[in-house]
Structure 1
Amino acid sequence: MPPFDSLIGVLSSRSFSTIWFWLALIGMWSAAGRTVLGVPAEVLTRARTAIRRGEAEGAPVITLLDWLSLTLPRWRLGPREGAIFLAVTSFLLTSLAIMGFGFGLELAQALTLVGLPFWLLFWMRVRLARRLVPLLAAAQEGQTPLAEAAAGTLRHMTRHRLWVTLLSMAAVLVTLLWGMLWVLLHPFGI
């Protein structure tokens, strides 16, 4: 049991050798891959099937665009909010990385290896939302046919989902390799 008389003692707790860390990591990535900007994967699948059948103005496509109209406003960041969020999160991740990899604190290393990919995932989602807003707005105003807007959103969302899958696999692999190395080099937690 680590000494809890200082902040350094708390931050040096065991992470890589507990099953709870690995369950939380897998659970977080599993939850992150189930939706794209809050739209369930089933909605994407149904809309893609409807477009392939030629039912571009059917209920599944309208359901997809309705989901997007509800979830996209959450992902809008103005330049000021984006800069503030970027600065604060960059500071926190850099601080964790310095404490973890500079001072050798296991918990800070674990939090860095979990936090950095989710930070990248957040910015990927913001970027996707910025790409989808004009498509959805054009479809709502009638400037773009519904089939074209739905196909464009599906293309962007499918590509995003592929990148999220690759990011999650890389993040888990890197965390796994680093965790194994840490446990091998520090068998007693010291």
Structure 2
Amino acid sequence: MDLFSLIFELIDLRSFSNLWYWIALAVLWSSASHWVLGVPFDMVARAAKHGGSAAQDLEDAVRVQVNRLLYISEVSGFALTAFAFFMITTLVLLGFYYRVEFAQAVVLMLIPMYVVGLINLRAARALRTPHDIDALRKRLTRTRVLIQLVGVISIFVTALWGMYQNLTFGALG
């Protein structure tokens, strides 16, 4: 077995039958639900439990991330949206018209992440004005639950599509 065969066996582009794809999907959703608005969710639990400086740290971290997200959306929002639509259109065509399984796998990861980005942007706009710590914790918790719901639906749809791909085209290829 030569080096190229070994590398291509390790990095198989048939994504839905590859363990690395499912590990990457799990890490993606674990990270997405942990980092709400770019703030680690354990800060919310620590602020609820200890208050004081932990609550102030949470407020400061949220303020910084909210300002960052709103600045990026105001300055580069149109260009980022145009690029995102270009990328997703290209990948959808490659994946579902030309039947490139790797592109299908990336689409099934990217589209839900765009939804997560919109959820975070909506939460950032709601948190633009200062809130008390309880309202802040409730907003971050609701945002996390919504992100987790998107993740559950995304993983379910991806698993169904992956099983369909493996059962239909796995024997052919």
TM-score range, shorter chain: 0.7 to 0.9
Cα distance, 1:78 vs. partner? 4.1
Structure 1 residue 85 corresponds to structure 2 residue 68? no
Cα distance, 1:107 vs. partner? 0.8
Name the structure 1 match of 2:4: none
Unaligned runs of 5+ in 2: 1-11
Structure 1 residue 177 corresponds to structure 2 residue 171? no
Structure 1 residue 128 corresponds to structure 2 residue 128? no
Q: Per the alignment, do residues 185 and 127 of structure 1 end up closer, same or farther by CA in structure 2, a change over 3 Å counting?
A: same
TM-score (normalizing by structure 2)? 0.85
Q: Aligned partner of 1:185: which letter?
A: T
Structure 1 residue 100 corresponds to structure 2 residue 95? yes
Name the structure 1 match of 2:112: 117
Q: Distance in 1 between matches of 2:110 and 2:172?
A: 22
Cα distance, 1:49 vs. partner? 3.4
Percentage of matched positions with identical amino acids: 31
8 Å Cα contact 1:44/1:154 also seen in 2: yes
The 3-state SS of whatever aligns with 2:170 is coil
Name the structure 1 match of 2:60: 66
CA deviations on 1:116-142 (whole Å, 9 max, x unpaired) are 01111112111111111212xxxxxxx
Stretch deviating more after TM superposition (86-95 or 72-81): 72-81
Cα distance, 1:80 vs. partner? 5.2
Q: Aligned partner of 1:170: which letter?
A: I
Q: Distance in 1 between matches of 2:41 and 2:73?
A: 28
Structure 1 residue 157 corresponds to structure 2 residue 140? yes
Q: Distance in 1 between matches of 2:85 and 2:54?
A: 39
Q: Distance in 1 between matches of 2:39 and 2:91?
A: 32
Matches within 5 A, 1:17-28: 17-28=17-28
Q: Distance in 2 between matches of 1:59 and 1:186?
A: 56
Stretch deviating more after TM superposition (91-100 or 61-70): 61-70
The alignment yields a C-alpha RMSD, in angstroms, of 1.9
TM-score (normalizing by structure 1)? 0.78
Name the structure 2 match of 1:138: none
Matches within 5 A, 1:5-16: 13-16=13-16
| Structure number with bigger Rg | 1
| 4+ aligned runs moved over 6 Å, structure 1 | none
Q: Distance in 1 between matches of 2:75 and 2:55?
A: 34
Q: Comparing both structures, which one devotes a greater share of its residues to helix?
A: 2
The 3-state SS of whatever aligns with 1:168 is helix
Give the count of matched residue pairs. Answer: 161
Cα distance, 1:38 vs. partner? 2.3
The 3-state SS of whatever aligns with 1:104 is coil
8 Å Cα contact 1:14/1:189 also seen in 2: no
Stretch deviating more after TM superposition (169-178 or 70-79): 70-79
